[in-house]
Chain A
Amino acid sequence: MGRPNDLVQGTLGLLILKTLSLEPKHGWAIGKRIQQISNDVLQVQQGSLYPALQRLEQQGWIRSKWAETETGRQARFYSLTAAGRAQLEKEREMWLRLSTAIDLVVES
């Protein structure tokens, strides 16, 4: 169905926040970016970005604005808020701790 696997579900927010930390992007570009950076390993179900984006905006971590793309088309651009930046740091630390721990277990 239209849901990403469990791991991505839990970390989709982190991925979006990280992607937006460089510059504001619209939804499609966020999806593409995640796919590219992860060398096509993380295949985000494209549609599921939108509920996640709404959730993040509801939390006040990102903010959206309608603007023109380079092709002159109206699109909704998302950008990180200050609170979002702090949240990104927090989630990144959590992720690091978690992945290190998993590494330790798996590689031992």
Chain B
Amino acid sequence: MRWFDRMRKSVSTLFRRHSETARLDEEMRFHLEQEEAERMRNGQTPDEARKAARREFGNPTVLRDEVRRGWNWGWLDTLARDLRFSTRALMRAPGFTVTAVAVMALCIGATMCLFTVVRSVLLEPLPFHDPDSLVMVYEHWRASTSGNPYNPVAPGDFYEWRAQTHGFADMASYHDSSLTVSGDHGEMPEMVAAQKGTWNLFPLLGVTPALGRTFREDEDRVGDNHFAILTWSFFQRRFGGDATIVGKTIRMAAKPYTVVGVLPAWFVYPDAQTQVWVPFADGETVERLHEHDNHYPYVVARMKPGVSLKTATDEVSALQYRMHVRYAGQPVAEDAISRPIIDDVVQDVKTPLLMMMSAVACMLLIGCLNVSNLLVARGAARQKEMAIRGALGAGRFALLREQMTETVILCGCGGGVGLLVALAGTTWLKLHWRGLPRASSIRIDLTIVLVTFGVVGLTAILAGLLPALSATQRGVLEGLKDASRGAGVGLSRARLRKALLSIEIALTVVLLLSAGLLLKSFVQLQTTDLGIAGDHLLTLRYNLPMEVYTKPEQSVAFSQSLLERVRRLPGVESAGLGSTVPGAGWDGDQVFIVPERPNYESNKQPDAMIRYADPGYFATLGVPLIAGRVFSEHDRLDQAKKVIVSEELVKRYYPGENVIGRTVVMGTDITNKKRTYEIVGVVGNTLWRVGERTKATIYFPVFSGETGYRSTLIARTSGDPLRYAVAIQKEIAALDPQLPVVEVLTIPQIVGQSTVNQSFSASLVLVFAGLSLLLAGVGLYGVLSYVVTQRVPEIGIRIALGAQRGQVLELVLRDGLRPVMSGLAVGIGGGVAVGYVIRSLLYQTKPLDPIVFAVMAMLLLTVAAIASAAPAWRASSIDPMQALRTE
């Protein structure tokens, strides 16, 4: 009860202080009346009684003050006074206030925006049950040189791991796939991103479906019954959120799938594009599920309590090595390695995000220094005021507190506006950063707001303490004397400002250099030669379903009529057909045997990327033919045991030899006649993705009639290729109305998609660097203007004594450029260090790229020159008479 009484009193004295004070007055008045009345009863005259009562009572004002101090809210009065005072002071200098608030808002906003993203993406645990005990297990090749030691697992390996090791509580596997969803009633067909997952994946992750259930063990078997789980977004989009869909069948890949459940909305693993899940074994054969040489699935494992990750992984690794020995000659890795699932999810964005976070932190620091600089200048202008107030008895602490209140108001307003900036920024990032994992979990919540308060406090201290200390440190007398004399004032303060400026410039240089390196790397990526003539090309993707196009003849007939129809379209110069185009991704590889040299060390068997091509493919794309011929109309069906290889393959596996007419055997069995092919041509190299090394490639003829791979139609058009998209899609629909077409893209669009992350980090860091440069320029301008104002009398004397304008100009410029030079020197040192830190993000760009360093240094110097020009010019045009008179 006592705490309640106390709190009631506190609250009442806080929020009803006016009525509390009134009540106190009333109480005291009552006291005096009582006392007077008693004294009059005792025979005193009213006048005597009143005076005596007052005397006995004491000074009511002092007493009232004492009471109010007792209310514990005295500091609030002081604070309110400080706030009022500071607000008024800030309102008197709107230019300064707006600039400082804008700078802080921008810097705090950008920082909080990136922090929000970093926190949601990198720091928050995944929304699974006990996510810390979830790990991903990969195969590991000892001789791997690709830089990424984590290789997908062959399905056969996975099944053996799960059956024969016991270090993990359980292991599950999944891999991506795609499915054509159609309807029984002519609904629009569409190709959706799908995942195939083992039945135990959802229980292992600890995911409860929103509707229905997850797969049962007996549903994850090779067979004719098909089951599916819908993701929430697909359930809402395609089925309108109709819960009765559970238990019904939907048509996918021309087969009926029973929907057993719907996943909750928050489940966006492994990516947000996934629309539907089917069992791991769905549509597979028993042989395929037990392959050890085909690596594509991912393996998730849950650690067993009490078993360390190393012990569990070592057990799997030992088993993997036994399989490596057992299947000698096949591509089976030696080891298994693991890493936490969160590292796996964020692997692509971790470095860029941390880099951007550092960039904004740098910018925040620069912003603080800038505001700090502005405050020092302001402090100089108010020096006389400070001195007078000090002389009148204001304590240094009180003055300091007042100055800090001002800074806190500035930073607080900045933080408030900054939160809005952060809100807008995160919304924009979520929308535009494609492939950002866990994007849906990014939000601004109370924690972020609280952290913003912390950042505001920190920036206030960073920006305000130094100027406040320097503004209040001067002795009263000195300040007054100085202010009246004018010359040589505030030299130490100018030194402080220059030091701050040097730091600011050094940080700016670091940012500029990082931005320059990233930008150059991005430009390199964008202008990478894919090995094709990429202009005026339109690509369209579709998958011929094996269930409909059961015979090779059917698919060949489809392909040929499609090509004929498209080639007839006006404006289409040529058309080709292949599995995929350069730049659009990996799309599978296979090992092969050169029959002349059939014996390989283990794991050194030749390996090539697999592509399909029709006779027009190379000409349409503009891939040059180096030797032999391209495919012809006659390389079809059973006449199609022919391949074309890339230059890289020849260089790697047939150095200096003529390959035309030689044979290769795909796979690991040299006696397999069905997989023996004759090399008929050699074509130029292409890149499978910008930023990746070229890879030996084997092209098979499209007209062999094999299906099951994805198809890409390529058209070379006159003028803007996207104008032909609808016409070509109509031709496809005319041939097969049930066939969905996806990814209608030009080559620059494909390249853009695969470089979107680089584009993001480069452009964001560039924006931050640009803003920092602007801040540094403004800072330099401010410092020099200040110095020039301070030195007006001195310069006046110099000119009066015969100094030339040019000399004065030089004097001021040198003064301004000295901190720029020292900042530049330190900044370049920092830039070199940062360059090495981010070199994994750089493509064909060295951390010490001389062009970047030269351009950025020039840029900074130019801005510095522009910023110093105005004050220097002002100094050189000082009228000596005027200057000396103002003293």
Residues of A near any B CB (own CB < 8 A): 1-2, 26-29, 31, 45-48, 50-51, 54-55, 57-61, 63, 66, 73-76, 81-83
Contact = CB atoms under 8 A, between A and B. Distances in A.
Nearest to A47: B58
B240 to A, nearest CB: 61
B66 interface: yes
A81 B1 CA distance: 9
Given A57-B9, A60-B6, A28 B30 contact: yes
Given A60-B5, A60-B6, A48 B27 contact: no
Given A28-B34, A58-B72, A51 B67 contact: yes
A2 B59 contact: yes
Interface string B60-82: 10110011001110000000000
B23 interface: yes
B388 interface: no
A60 B23 contact: no
B70 A46 contact: no
Given A48-B63, A58-B9, A60-B3, A73 B56 contact: no
Contacts of A47: 28, 57-60, 63
Contact of B70 (A55, A60, A81): A55
Given A28-B30, A45-B58, A58-B71, 6 more contacts: A29-B34, A58-B72, A60-B5, A60-B6, A63-B5, A73-B33
A61 B1 CA distance: 10
Given A48-B63, A83-B5, A75 B58 contact: no
A80 to B, nearest CB: 12
B10 A58 contact: yes
Given A59-B6, A60-B5, A50 B63 contact: yes
Contacts of B9: 57-58, 60
Nearest to A82: B1
B674 interface: no
Given A2-B58, A2-B63, A58-B72, A50 B27 contact: yes
A63 B59 CA distance: 25
A73 B56 CA distance: 22
B35 interface: yes
Contacts of B24: 50, 54
Given A46-B56, A57-B9, A60-B9, A76 B23 contact: yes
Contacts of A59: 6
A50 B10 CA distance: 17
A46 B62 CA distance: 13
Contacts of A57: 5, 9
Contacts of B35: 28, 46
Contact of A50 (B28, B34, B56): B28
A58 B27 contact: no
A75 B63 contact: no
20 contacts: A2-B58, A2-B62, A2-B63, A28-B31, A31-B31, A45-B58, A46-B56, A47-B28, A51-B63, A51-B70, A54-B70, A58-B6, A58-B70, A60-B3, A73-B33, A75-B30, A76-B23, A76-B26, A83-B1, A83-B5
B27 A76 contact: yes
Interface in B99-144: none
A1 B30 contact: no
B485 interface: no
B634 interface: no
A82 B567 CA distance: 99
Contacts of B58: 1-2, 45-48
Interface residues of B, number: 31
B63 to A, nearest CB: 5
B2 interface: yes
Contacts of B26: 74, 76
Interface in B809-858: none
Q: Give chain B's interface secondary structure class.
A: helix
B35 to A, nearest CB: 7
A48 B57 CA distance: 8
B543 to A, nearest CB: 78
Interface in B604-634: none
Given A51-B70, A58-B71, A83-B1, A75 B60 contact: no
A66 to B, nearest CB: 8
Contacts of A27: 27, 30-31
Nearest to B62: A2
Interface string B7-29: 00110010000000001101110
Given A60-B6, A83-B5, A26 B30 contact: yes
B2 A60 contact: yes
Contact of A83 (B2, B10, B23): B2
Nearest to A86: B2
A59 to B, nearest CB: 7
Interface string B770-807: 00000000000000000000000000000000000000
A76 B67 CA distance: 16
A81 B6 CA distance: 11
A35 to B, nearest CB: 11
A10 B24 CA distance: 23
A55 B66 CA distance: 10
A60 B2 CA distance: 5
Interface string B33-66: 1110000000000000000000011111011001
A54 B6 CA distance: 11
Contacts of B13: 58
A73 B59 CA distance: 24
B66 A51 contact: yes
A2 B67 CA distance: 13
Nearest to B55: A46
Interface string B629-653: 0000000000000000000000000
A73 B10 contact: no
Contacts of A46: 31, 35, 56-58
Given A1-B58, A46-B56, A57-B9, A75 B67 contact: no
B6 A73 contact: no
Contacts of A63: 5
Given A47-B57, A55-B70, A75 B6 contact: no
B5 A73 contact: no
A81 B2 contact: yes
Nearest to B34: A28
Contacts of A76: 23, 26-27, 30
Nearest to A75: B30
Contacts of B62: 1-2
A48 to B, nearest CB: 6
- Nearest 8 CB-CB pairings of A with B: A2-B58, A47-B58, A60-B5, A83-B2, A60-B2, A28-B34, A60-B6, A51-B66
A81 B34 contact: no
A48 B60 CA distance: 9
A82 B9 CA distance: 16
Most chain-B Cβ atoms within 10 A of its Cβ — which of A29, A47, A58?
A: A47
Contacts of B56: 45-46
Contacts of A66: 23
Nearest to A52: B70
Contacts of B2: 60-61, 81-83
A42 to B, nearest CB: 14
A58 B10 CA distance: 7
Contacts of B3: 60
Nearest to A26: B30
A82 B3 CA distance: 12
B591 to A, nearest CB: 84
Given A28-B35, A58-B70, A81 B59 contact: no
Nearest to A81: B5
A76 B28 CA distance: 10
A2 B54 CA distance: 11
Nearest to A76: B27
Given A2-B63, A47-B59, A51-B67, A75 B1 contact: no
Nearest to B33: A73
B22 to A, nearest CB: 12
Contacts of B66: 51
